[in-house]
Amino acid sequence: MFCLFSDTTAANIAFSNTGADMDLIKHVAKLADAHHFIEALSDGYNTIVGEHDTTSAVDMATEYKIQQDLQKVGANKTAFIIAHRVSSVKDADLILVLNKGEIIELGNHKTLMAKDGYYASNYNEQIGQGGDE
């Protein structure tokens, strides 16, 4: 999940990277599997989007593709991933579990599963008992 700001689609993609040109913006959109969707909008990358509208959940196949692409481009880089799906963060080096703005658990997937707490409960609910640990 991420927030959009009242600006163009291109500006939202380039957020915090003031030097991003249109080639980089389109490259990132392709990595997120969003390029064709954006191109189909009435004004393409110049379409104004609304502030704080969260994006809808992507299907599992698209999520998997995004994760694979992030692993390719994110090697030796720090990335912050904010997600409700545990499958989106399962391979992270450090997972912070928040509840009402407070960190209630932290660790990697294996550590959090061993604690059998909030994260493990959500994992089992989302992935199912005996899932891919």
pLDDT tens digits, one per residue of 83-123: 778 888 888 899 999 988 889 999 999 999 999 999 999 99
Q: Quote the number of domains for the chain.
A: 2
Domain check: are 3 and 59 in the same one? yes
Residues 113, 122: contact at Cβ < 8 Å? no
> What is the rounded average pLDDT for all residues in the chain?
80
Domain check: are 56 and 25 in the same one? yes
State the number of CA atoms in the 13 A half-sphere of 29 facing the CB.
Answer: 23
Is the pTM value of this prediction over 0.85? no
Domain check: are 3 and 50 in the same one? yes
Residue 82 has pLDDT above 90, yes or no: no
